[in-house]
Amino acid sequence: MKEQLAQIKKRAMDELGACQTVKELEDLRVKVLGKKGELTGILKQMGKLSAEERPVIGQLANEVRQELEGKIEEFKAALKEKQLAEQLASERLDVTMPGRPFELGSMHPLSLVLEEIEEIFLGMGFNIAEGPEVEYDYYNFEALNLPKDHPARDTQDTFYITDNILLRTQTSPVQVRVMEKQKPPIRVISPGRVYRSDAVDATHSPVFHQIEGLIVDKGVTMADLKGTLEIFAKRLYGEDAKTRFRPHHFPFTEPSAEMDTQCFACGGEGCRLCKGEGWIELLGCGMVHPKVLKNCGIDPEVYSGFAFGMGLERVVMRRFGIDDLRLFFENDLRFLKQF
């Protein structure tokens, strides 16, 4: 047994020197010193020894166990230290190197111009009002003096959910809700998303944004409307901005007009974007129809008002010289990074 113990010790020491990882050390420990290890197998044979030999062999076996356990722990500590040094060397950081810059996002051009427009009108004493995008037929049409047979109510133009519920085609319903709850004087703008069944092209989209404006008070005239919108155009586009007003018809205003801005692409000469006219329609406007005031509980004999509505996308196109509305919705970073 002494020879067997000596051989176990020698083999263990030889294998110990060949171990390169902590796992290999642990496997060696289990193989030699574990419950089913080689040293345990020797100790199980001590029952065959005489009473005089047992304490000698037992002491020798304990000495072999202690020596091997000590060597294994010593090698394990050395391997861990070596692994730590290698890890530190491979993961070493040069704190003098500049950090990697984080790519920051920016505001969408629609949001940029919307904030600018809001600031312009807030500076003129307007408040901002909001309303639901899923709207009742009454607020979207009837209260705005659009009868059941009006072409604007055709399902080709409007996304109906039920006969009485639809996706709003304009933000004018917000004005009706404001007039129902608030008595004059009223001065609000209502920006928001609207929906129409339009074919997608360079200047049209089934989903777009509008900004409606409303003033109701005593003595409001068409001159107030024209002056307000000209001030708005010059503050947004600069003092050299050119606009024109054309007679038009809207069921909810009387008289009505459209305000155009000179085409930024051709400077008024005529091109694909302005369809050869030299001007781009910017917004519709007019004096609030007496029936609309009456529907909202406001006496048209005492109060008058004007309203206007513009497509945000067209305003932004004029602002930045963009010639295709579809760019706003394609999420092309090459386009968005310019803003």
Distances (CA, A) of 51 to 47, 58, 63: 9, 11, 19
Asked whether residue 27 falls in the same domain as residue 147, the answer is no
Burial label for 285, CB within 10 Å (0-12, 13-18, 19+), is buried
Residue 47's pLDDT band, with cuts at 50, 70 and 90, is: low
Write down the pLDDT at residue 156.
Answer: 65
Say how far apart CA 244 and CA 216 lie, in whole Å.
Answer: 24
Domain final residue, candidates 90, 124, 143: 90
Asked whether residue 84 falls in the same domain as residue 121, the answer is no
Of residues 22 and 107, more confidently modeled: 107
Q: H helices of 91-171, where?
A: 109-123, 137-140
Domain membership flag for residue 141: yes
Domain membership flag for residue 41: yes
Least Cα distance to 202 among 327, 88, 82 occurs for: 327
pLDDT tens digit string along 191-236? 999 999 888 888 788 999 999 999 999 999 999 999 999 999 889 8
| CATH number for position 224 | 3.30.930.10
Q: What value does the mean pLDDT take over residues 241-266?
A: 88
Confirm if 301 and 68 have CB atoms less than 8 A apart. no
Asked whether residue 54 falls in the same domain as residue 131, the answer is no
**Which amino acid, one-letter code, is at 159?**
F
